[in-house]
Structure 1
């Protein structure tokens, strides 16, 4: 399976650290981020999941649920969670703006048991250059952004050797959520509060409807084409 932007994300039946779940039902009306890591009890993955757990309040404010995956068993996951908590310090579980400290041995989000590598293969997340001590391939560092309509809105794929930047994951999520509400695009290095771009596909007669505060058009390009239009939202 090769998931493309706009494809329906499969409604997998998953075995996780919070019990068996059906992915779509668990997500409900939320956005979702499913991200894989090569293996439990590994250094880079420990930094990544600890960072993601620390950011649980930020994802909750964005109505987004996180779920992790690796080619390890639930027993391994539960043991590793204790290391994650010790490494990162207190974790929080959040619903909207309400957060509570997670008891020892629990975690900010579920982790999927993919010890048979079924999901990793189906979703194209196998890293051909990385193997465990049994010679079996490990998962790459994939990230799938799933919209409330259960469609793929974005995806990222890193090799096992490179840890992800969760600030960028949050930035991308902010861009996706804003562009789902308004006909905009976000320019290079954009972050919340910066001006957005109004694409050429937005007709002049619709600009006032979506951007009553007006847009700024860059007219001094050599081409003379006013295709760069910026607005504050």
Structure 2
């Protein structure tokens, strides 16, 4: 495994370049940079053969065509070895009739986990690793979600966040609470006094919505 560039006394933030790495996966050796040009959801899980992680992998595989429709790849990572990953994939297939459709990275040295802040340098183990990173086609981290090891992620929320990121990139709009594709979008706030004063008769000048032109 090739380590990502070291980040000294620094926390990974939205807007940062995603640290690159090269590692073995269940689908061969990959570089994170291989995914440039399309969206990527990179997500960590605490351990193979655990109930919460298994539920997530089954759900993500069943939803993989929906991520593909958004031109988004999925990439998992955990501290377990490649051989543990392979055994788990077989167990999932045998138990749930689901074949995991995305690569799983091995990170036994925690190099990737620590570079991304998935696990603290002070953590004695990897039990806290259940983080999700939404990486755009330029390799920039656009959103991050972190859960404790005991709580499973929502695949629907992952898809919603991805769709919202793509929607705001397409036009000068922002998305409201609970937005889903097809819902009304919001216009960004005015950036100058003249534009603001033209809206003086609109009591909702600070919350301007419009039908989503891309709906349907």
Fold match, TM over 0.5?
yes
5+ residue gaps, structure 1, are 92-106, 207-216
Conserved 8 A contact 1:218-1:227 = no
Q: Deviations over 1:28-59 (max 9, x none)?
A: 31100000000000000000011111111000
TM-align CA RMSD: 2.5
Out of 54, 64, 80, which is 1:56 matched to? 64
Q: Count the aligned residue pairs.
A: 199
Give the match for residue 4 of structure 2: none
SS at match of 2:18: coil
Conserved 8 A contact 2:187-2:210 = yes
- Determine the C-alpha separation between the residues in 2 that align with 1:142 and 1:163: 11
Conserved 8 A contact 1:17-1:112 = yes
- Determine the C-alpha separation between the residues in 2 that align with 1:128 and 1:49: 27
Q: Deviations over 1:118-147 (max 9, x none)?
A: 11111111279987xxxx333421000000
- Determine the C-alpha separation between the residues in 1 that align with 2:17 and 2:126: 26
Give the match for residue 175 of structure 2: 186
Are 2:36 and 1:28 equivalent residues in the alignment?
Answer: yes
1:186 Cα offset (Å): 0.7
Conserved 8 A contact 2:20-2:31 = yes
Name whichever structure is richer in strand by fraction. 1
1:219 Cα offset (Å): 2.9
1:201 Cα offset (Å): 4.0
Give the match for residue 14 of structure 1: 23
Give the match for residue 153 of structure 2: 164
- Determine the C-alpha separation between the residues in 2 that align with 1:155 and 1:88: 29
Superposition pairs for residues 102-113 of structure 1, below 5 Å? 107-113=100-106
